[in-house]
Amino acid sequence: MKTTAAGEPVVVDDFVVTDHEFSRFTAFVHRQTGIALNETKRPLVCSRLSKRLRHYGYVRLRQYYDHLTERDPTGEELAHMVNALTTNKTEFFREAHHFALLRTEILERCATANGPRRLRVWSAGCSSGEEAYSIAFTVLDGLEDAADWDVRILASDIDTNVLALATRGVYAANRVAGVPAALRERYLLRGRGPSEGLVRVRPEVTRLVTFRRINLRDEAWPIRAAFDAIFCRNVLIYFDHALQRRVVRRLAEHLKPGGHLFLGHSESLLGMGPGLRSLGKTVYAKVRGGEHR
């Protein structure tokens, strides 16, 4: 990266970016996705978008901004832009204590409750699907009579590329190292021949999970369900505080009373508003009456 005097253009990966261009572009990204990008992210933004700019022969970020705002009526390029800028870091059974609590608290509570045998879980920001399938493995293994239950797991992300990967349910064998051995044997199929080195999630697992594109920044979410648990881990860190508060409030509205919200290890609901009680280790329970603790 070559920098010039304050206020002058900056060259990043052979693209010219002025302060004004970057500020205007990141404001557009924020409006579309909720992702907050500060000046320190300028090299990252340009690096991730370099392929898209080269696709059109652009050498200025403002040219790409003009394309997105004036020559993209279907939103096709907007989707490419979002896919390029989103960060997708995930693994099976990441933060294993969350899945242990899912098994010992949530499943046991649902199993002993009166009423329909129904379980609803949402993986918000599911990336390439490892979290959603980890939830499904835990549910199938934790319910003795899982076949008699109405289980639905919603898995959503803003990135259409990772959703396509998640829907396939095929992973490199080294990616499933975090899955307990007994669950690997029970719920994953090993590839043979041309598929050697790959594993596929078994159909009895994939049929529990529905993948959908949902932008948490949108004013309305296409969801009517009330969930027993919502996993929204390492998503809020990309939003500014105002959007964090709004998303948390709406997530809480989609939880059943007593339902659990799971956040990432570096996230906290401190000052986020009423309705959720901390259980420790970035786990929160929706409390009746809306009091905050």
Instruction: Just list the catalytic residues.
Output: 48, 157
- Alpha-carbon dihedral 155, 156, 159, 161, rounded to 10 degrees: 30
The string over 3-20, giving b where at least 16 C-beta atoms fall within 10 Å of a residue's C-beta and e elsewhere, is eeeeeebbebeebebbee
What would the two tokens of residue 41 be? 């992210």
Q: How far apart are CA 52 and CA 280, in angstroms?
A: 43
Q: Are 213 and 156 in contact (CB under 8 A)?
A: yes
Contacts of 271 (CB under 8 A, 6+ apart): none
The one-letter amino acid at 149 = W
Chain position carrying tokens 């696709």: 55
Chain position carrying tokens 């994953």: 188
